[in-house]
Structure 1
């Protein structure tokens, strides 16, 4: 990865000359020069060239302030696309087609002067610069005051353990800032989530190193208790508006579902009496008269301290109307037929009565 060029700064007295070279004081305008670089231990480092001649025939990189054969690291010849390693080659160096020196997995002892020799048709160009590799900062630590919370009831405070002055916070992998739901301390090292919800489960902090890369802490996972939000009571046969119609002797199943964590507890009440069932489902293999009535499913989350319930009433199928307490029924369709026959019979009777009255008055009038 390419890193931005650092600004020149004073070095220790022992490397004063090297620092001057790094800042370009001894470089003449138009000559080949090396861009100074500050790298980080474990990362890739580069020494770039400026004012590269177009007819470069060979780039030869050396460790130190001279380009002797014994100090050579590696050389590269663009025309033949060939390269050769030297006595100072560690296996981590390489030269790109642009002539830059690339060092993989930089080490602290890579710090020092580097010299490049660029051979062209008209002669040779030389330049020296300084490479500094700094020790990699350790990743920040992270801790919280608690990891088990109740949704919308509890707060959580997370602490980032680092000496860095720039700290960023992540919740579920997304960078966050102070808002109505959470607060970050002025020094950036403390994050307080005021009311935790079920989606605030992964907390992490990070610092920015000198190269601009983020070094993240380990992740902390929160256990958030929530719900039940609502309760659904599904049944077979299906219920409509809390009413389940079924025939005596038929099979009835009722299932109570909800959204909650941890797994909630269930209780059932039938006509005001607590049943021994502690499961979410109830099955009545053969519905009896005593099993009719109202059922209530109660869902309780003892951790979140929330309880909800749902009712359903089992009644006889309205398609069958009982005549007495024995298992004798008249179907609804038969009832309709009887009603129609009764109405028609009444109309017929009334017609006969009207006919008789009219006939009587007719005979009386003829007699007079």
Structure 2
């Protein structure tokens, strides 16, 4: 289609403007004017031709009415869902008691350009892989959006000098979706499709809980009572769980392990192993199941001595008394003897 080809169209052909003389509701307060006299619109968007110096009007549908046009109370022409064939000259005629006035404006509807977009990979691993996205457009000012937020070059993201390539290093789970856009006219943008990335991550946030509640990794439970253990972690794809009892792999897998009636054979160490087949990461935690610890009752000690030891003890005591007395007599005798010699 040749957009430079002009075609005249009276607004009256779209909507019939009633005259003030006939209905008394339309009035021009001065020289009417279309502002601006040259306007650029964008395909599929709304376009508005502003008419100045008209205070009120009334209209009815004319022969070229398509359902997308309407004249507002201010006299402005409003076109919904503009199309390329709406390009051309638009002339408005206002019939008033003081005469008829005309104004003409040029409208060009510009094609809405939708840029293309591609990425080198859509399935990636968090903190390991990189993604390169390309925006296909002739525009030299491309804007990039990551998770619906505009981005610029930073420590992880690099935008090429021509702005058409975005490289994201060490991709993160929230770096999706990707989109590029161009500004067709001020504040109107052509946006590419959204590219969704599948980012594998985890497992992370692993927790191991139990009922009864464990204390420092020890679950105390009586024989015959129920015991439950639950292992959780977050990852994409979903975490894979394995359970070990005293080093032996159990035959079932899943987040929970339930022991309805605890037996002696079920006592011991339980280990939950959480893995992700894509990220190749694995974590584990342990719990020890055992009967409650109870201190032994204190026992009174009675000191007893056998008969032979009693005899020996008596003999030693007697001999000790004899030795003590003899020593005391000797000391007294020695003391008095020394005193007598001094007196002589």
TM-score higher than 0.5: yes
SS of the residue 1:290 aligns to: helix
1:53–1:120 CA contact under 8 A, matched in 2: no
Match for residue 39 of structure 1 among 38, 41, 64:
41
Distance 2:104 2:242 in 1: 82
Segment of structure 1 superposing worse, 280-289 or 141-150: 280-289
Distance 2:85 2:260 in 1: 81
SS of the residue 2:89 aligns to: strand
Match for residue 108 of structure 2 among 132, 154, 169:
132
Residue 92 of structure 2 corresponds to which residue in structure 1? Answer: 116
1:13-28 alignment, distance < 5 Å:
none
Match for residue 291 of structure 1 among 266, 284, 289:
266
2:74 paired with 1:98 = yes
Residue 210 of structure 1 corresponds to which residue in structure 2? Answer: 185
SS of the residue 2:41 aligns to: strand
Segment of structure 1 superposing worse, 123-132 or 162-171: 123-132
Distance 1:106 1:267 in 2: 61
* 1:318-356 deviation digits (Å, cap 9, x = unpaired): 13xxxxxxxxxxxx5xx54x54xx37x88xxxxxxxxxx
1:45–1:106 CA contact under 8 A, matched in 2: yes
Residue 84 of structure 1 corresponds to which residue in structure 2? Answer: 60
Residue 252 of structure 1 corresponds to which residue in structure 2? Answer: 227
2:54–2:74 CA contact under 8 A, matched in 1: no
Distance 2:286 2:205 in 1: 13
Q: Runs of 5+ in structure 2 lacking a partner?
A: 7-29, 304-344
Distance 2:244 2:129 in 1: 32
2:147 paired with 1:172 = yes
1:230–1:308 CA contact under 8 A, matched in 2: no
1:39–1:211 CA contact under 8 A, matched in 2: no
How far apart are 1:280 and its partner, in Å? 2.7
2:206 paired with 1:235 = no
How far apart are 1:211 and its partner, in Å? 5.1
* 1:286-315 deviation digits (Å, cap 9, x = unpaired): 323333222221111121111111011122
How far apart are 1:214 and its partner, in Å? 1.8
1:158-169 alignment, distance < 5 Å:
158-169=133-144
1:262-341 alignment, distance < 5 Å:
262-319=237-294, 336=297, 339=299
Distance 2:250 2:85 in 1: 77
* 1:84-131 deviation digits (Å, cap 9, x = unpaired): 344444443322222222223333333222222333443333222322
Distance 1:102 1:222 in 2: 41
1:284–1:95 CA distance, 2 compared to 1 (3 A)? closer
Distance 2:187 2:64 in 1: 30
2:112–2:190 CA contact under 8 A, matched in 1: no
How far apart are 1:163 and its partner, in Å? 2.1
Distance 1:167 1:156 in 2: 18
1:241–1:45 CA distance, 2 compared to 1 (3 A)? same
Distance 1:313 1:207 in 2: 61
The higher radius of gyration belongs to 2
Distance 2:247 2:175 in 1: 40
Segment of structure 1 superposing worse, 111-120 or 224-233: 111-120
Residue 307 of structure 2 corresponds to which residue in structure 1? Answer: none
Distance 2:251 2:96 in 1: 95
